[in-house]
A and B are shown apart, each in its own frame.
Chain A
Amino acid sequence: MRRIRVENVTKSIDGEVILDNLSLEIPQGQFFALLGPSGCGKTTLLRLLAGLEGVDSGRIYLGDEDITHVPIYKRRINTVFQQYALFPHLTVFENIAYSLRVKKMSSEKIKTKTQDALKMVRLAGLDGKYPASLSGGQQQRVALARAIVNEPDVLLLDEPLAALDLKLKEEMLIELIDLQDKLETTFIYVTHDQAEALTVADQMAIMNKRGKLEQIGTPKQIYEFPTTRFVANFVGSTNIIEGTFHVRDGQQKVEVEGLTIFNVYNPLDKHWMIPGCRLFMSIRPEKIYISKTEKEGFSNHIQGRVVDIIYYGMSTRYYVKLRNGQVLIVFEQNEEHFPQEVIDYDDLVHLYFQKENVVLLEH
């Protein structure tokens, strides 16, 4: 097994600590996304894995082999660089064949392998062109082909789609997923775009601004069950409400001063969840039901006034001001051309949500 293991890695650049005692394990053959805000050290971690920079302390393993001090050109890890870094003086073919030429492979072998890689990224026929004459998406594919032609154990992708427009980005995301399925190489994908990460990842890790890992899990785990306030806020949008935790008659409750008492349900036994403690509730905007009339069958109900409406086409986002002044965000799908009730500015609305959909987070 050629998994990647990072153990207690610390790295400072110009006296500033970027990564602090970071440990992480990435199983083989996964599409792994590293997600974090700009400047959180995710690119630095990638550079350490690639060997472009050395660690201050800690170890990096590829499989059982300690590669901490193996020089970059001897690692079986290749990178797709952010701005692609294609060699401008070489044709597409020569760019892709570069690592094979360095290895002194026979020219027939180079030819077949390069053509295969070109086909893999759907660029067959462009081998004689120079990078400068290609579009952004084509350059991206050449960079990809150049990195996979040598069959690395691990492929690192540093914000590979940042320079592409939205439509092309979505197309490339799907191609990347297909490519990873075919190759079964471990892909480590660094991005600050949560939508990209959720789309491609089998597993993802969230890093915070101080270069610490906040949570690792599948996209669904990360989105539905964030374990920290940072993750809940960073991935998707959410409503955070502060309150006090109580247990009454075996029922979990959160009391919010000046508002109401919410019913919550948290099956996991978290050590900090002792009655009387302060905590945050996180409730996703699409999990709140909005209506002008009263409904039955929901475990939580509050009222508020609409202060803002943003129409997105497929959905509408409502900003609803509660009695205590807090504003909640609510998404509603626009399912009908002519909805039964039209919600407008300043309307008094009822908000409903189920207790199972509330995530409790440590204060």
Chain B
Amino acid sequence: MKIIRRIVAEEFPFILACPALVWQVFFLFLPVCVLLLYSFFELIPGHWLGSFTLDYYRQIVHSRALWAILNSSILALITSTICFVLAYPLAYFLAIKVAKKLRMFFLFLLILPSWTSIVVQVYAWFFLLDKKGYLTQFLYNAGFISDNFHFLNSYGTILIGMVSAYLPFMVFPIYAVLERMDKRFLEASADLGANGRETFRRVVFPLSLPGVYAGFLLVFIPSFGEFAIPSLLGGSKYAFWGSVIVDRFLRSRDWRSGAALAILGVSIPVMLVASSFIVKKIIEIKKRREKKRLTAVKDQW
């Protein structure tokens, strides 16, 4: 009894973590594993799993679906870049210039749209960008656009929707880093002769990089898999990873190649993160070797 009690006491944090772990394993990892199996094994009626095959992957590679992955990567990249360009000045303004009392209000305004579902946000854009939408009508009446101009079903409109949905996820991490940054670094930099621009370039921006990385991850990954915004605002003109998967699973009922496509797509961001991690490690090791070499030289002296 005593031993059990001691184990419980020692492993209490683990026990507390169990519900979340079980949830993740059963409802996320296991389905992903099933997808993985589906994508690699042949479908033979009467058997649950057939023999190993790469056919489904071959099928994907030879179809337009591969382009969908590329499309999604480009879209995610452009979205996160635009978000970054828009978010950084906003985060800087909020963290450095706005009075503390007002910050919460601005942040509230920023996050407010995210409290509704993305689909609702997209329909809000319809009210503005539809042929009879307010913005279209206004611009038409003002003489800026012609009668046959369409906002919807264009790449630009997809970007508008993507950026407006994901902007807060770029602002928040950058804001958090800037807000926490010790303002005395700014004073020290000015004291050492740097003007505002130099201080930004040499101190503020480098110190905010962790926030920028986090922002890119938070925007890139979900916008890579996003299918609602592109398919609603872009129509069927553009094939994106998310929408092709939805197609395969729901319309053509082709779970096997759908699974292969999903696995291929997931492996791209995973590989990105992994490769950046590996590069970082290599640089670290190189640095350490260099240092060892230098100290060795010093010792000789």
Nearest chain B CB to A272's CB is how many angstroms away?
44
Q: A88-B207, A89-B207, A102-B202 are in contact. Are A150 and B188 (CB under 8 A)?
A: no
Contacts of B46 in A (CB 8 A): none
Chain A neighbourhood of B10, CB < 8 A: none
Q: Mark contacts of B158-193 with chain A using CB atoms, 8 A cut-off: 1 yes-contact digit, 0 otherwise.
A: 000000000000000000000000101101111111
Which residues of chain A in 294-336 are interfacial with respect to chain B, using CB atoms and an 8 Å cutoff?
A: none
Residues of B within 8 A of A83 (CB): 184
Task: List 24 A–B pairs whose Cβ atoms lie within 8 Å, in order of A's numbering.
Answer: A50-B191, A52-B187, A52-B191, A71-B195, A73-B194, A78-B191, A79-B188, A81-B184, A81-B187, A85-B182, A85-B188, A86-B188, A87-B188, A87-B203, A89-B203, A98-B189, A98-B194, A99-B192, A99-B193, A102-B192, A102-B194, A102-B202, A125-B298, A150-B192
Asked if A81 contacts B190 (CB within 8 A), the reply is: no
Q: State whether B184 touches A102 (Cβ < 8 A).
A: no
- State whether A102 touches B198 (Cβ < 8 A): yes
Where the two chains meet, the residues of B that have a C-beta atom closer than 8 Å to any C-beta of A are 182, 184-185, 187-195, 198, 202-203, 206-207, 291, 298
Q: Which residues does chain B contribute within 8 Å of A101, judged by CB atoms?
A: 202
Residues of chain B with a CB closer than 8 A to A147's CB: 192
B188 engages A73 (CB within 8 Å): no
In the complex, the answer to whether B193 meets A102 with C-beta atoms within 8 Å is yes
Question: How far does the Cβ of B211 sit from chain A's closest Cβ, in whole Å?
Answer: 13
B193 to A150, Cβ gap below 8 A? Answer: yes
Task: State the CA gap A87–B190 with chains docked (Å).
Answer: 13
Given contacts A85-B182, A85-B184, A98-B202, contact A72 B190 (CB under 8 A): yes
Q: Which residues of A contact B189 (CB under 8 A)?
A: 87, 98
| Nearest neighbor of B295 in chain A, beta-carbon distance | A125
Given contacts A73-B195, A79-B191, A125-B298, 17 further A-B contacts (CB under 8 A): A71-B190, A72-B190, A73-B191, A73-B193, A73-B194, A74-B193, A77-B191, A78-B192, A85-B188, A87-B185, A87-B188, A87-B189, A87-B207, A89-B207, A98-B189, A102-B198, A150-B193
Chain A residue numbers with a CB within 8 Å of B194 are 73, 98-99, 102
Given contacts A88-B207, A89-B206, A128-B291, contact A81 B193 (CB under 8 A): no
Report the 10 A-B pairs with minimum CB-CB distance, sorted nearest first. Answer: A99-B192, A85-B188, A85-B184, A72-B190, A102-B194, A102-B193, A89-B206, A79-B191, A99-B193, A73-B193
- A-side contacts of B193, CB under 8 Å: 73-74, 99, 102-103, 150
Distance between Cα atoms of A125 and B291 in the complex (Å): 11
The verdict on A146 contacting chain B, using a C-beta distance below 8 Å, is yes
Write out, one digit per residue, whether chain A residues 143-167 have a CB within 8 A of any chain B CB (1) or not (0).
Answer: 0001100100000000000000000
Residue among B184, B193, B194, B298 with max Cβ neighbours from chain A (10 Å): B193
Bound: A66/B194 CA distance, A:
21
Secondary structure at the B interface, as helix, strand, loop or mixed, is helix
Chain A residues, Cβ within 8 Å of B184: 81, 83, 85
Complexed CA–CA distance, A83 and B185 (Å): 11
Bound Cα distance from A147 to B188, whole angstroms: 10
With A81-B187, A85-B187, A88-B207 given, is the CB distance from A98 to B291 under 8 Å? no
| Chain A 44-101 interface residues, beta-carbon cutoff 8 Å to B | 50-52, 71-74, 77-79, 81, 83, 85-89, 98-99, 101
Q: List, in ascending order, chain A residues with CB within 8 A of B207's CB.
A: 87-89
CB A122 to nearest CB in B, in angstroms, measures 17
Residues of B within 8 A of A146 (CB): 192
In this complex, what residue of A is CB-closest to B207? A89
Instruction: Please report the C-alpha to C-alpha distance between residue A78 and residue B190 in the assembled complex, in whole angstroms.
Output: 10
Asked, given contacts A73-B195, A98-B202, A128-B291, whether A85 binds B185 with beta carbons under 8 Å apart, the answer is yes
A79 partner residues in chain B, CB cutoff 8 A: 188, 191
CA distance A146 to B193 in the complex (A): 12
Determine how close the nearest CB of chain B comes to the CB of A208; give it in whole angstroms. 27
Smallest CB-CB separation from A86: which chain B residue? B188
| Residues 254 to 283 of chain A near chain B (Cβ within 8 Å) | none
Known: A81-B184, A85-B182, A85-B184. A72 touches B191 (CB 8 A): yes
Report A-chain residues with C-beta under 8 Å of the C-beta of B298: 125
